[in-house]
Structure formats: C-alpha cells, structure tokens
Amino acid sequence: MKKIGEVKNYLSDIGVAIVELTGTLKEDDKVHFKSSKEAEKPIKPFNQEPPLSMQINKDKITKAGPGKVIGLKVSKPVKNNCSVYKV
C-alpha cells in the first residue's frame, strides 16, 4: 500500500471525506483508510472499493493528483487526519 493522502474533514450528513491528496487517485482505484497512531478515538481500518465517487467543487471527477483537495464518498465514517492509502 502507498499513502496518497489524508482526511481533512468528514461530512457525516452526506458520508463524504474531504481528502488532501499527496498522490494520484483514479475512480477505479481501491483505497484503504487507517487512523493515525495519535488518534484519540481511532476508526477500524477499512477498504473503499471501486468505483470511487469523487468531486472537486461539486464537479464529478475521474482522476485527481497531488495537491488537490477532493470530496470522496465513503461507506463508513472516518475521522480527521486518517491516512488514505492506494491498495
């Protein structure tokens, strides 16, 4: 697994993680979410299966690269500062 980003916010009402990317992510990638070691209330690590639903400023995208901040629909709640890995 390769780290490709970090969760900056989680919008619980719509199940979307706001992720700042440090690597490239495509809609057909599988990603893994894992809490940081310093997390007070860590989440149970999980995989998000493709196809991924991603947006930038409410526009649907199929690929994003380093430095981009995206909205990523997730199947389970995540916490701020969770690491995001490409599987």
pLDDT tens digit sequence for 33-42: 999 777 778 8
Output the pLDDT for position 40: 76
Output the pLDDT for position 3: 96
Please state, rounded to an integer, the average pLDDT across all residues of the chain: 94
Instruction: Note the CATH architecture for domain 2-86.
Output: Beta Barrel (2.40)
Percent of the chain with pLDDT over 90: 91
- Average the pLDDT over 45-66 and give the result: 96
Q: Are 1 and 56 in contact (CB under 8 A)?
A: no
Q: State pLDDT tens for residues 5-42.
A: 999 999 999 999 999 999 999 999 999 999 977 777 88
In whole angstroms, what is the distance from residue 59 CA to residue 71 CA? 10
Q: Are 2 and 47 in contact (CB under 8 A)?
A: no
Give me the residue spans of the domains in the chain: 2-86
25: left (phi over 0), alpha (psi -120 to 50) or beta: beta
Whether the predicted model's global pTM rises above the 0.85 cut: yes
Percent of the chain with pLDDT over 70: 100
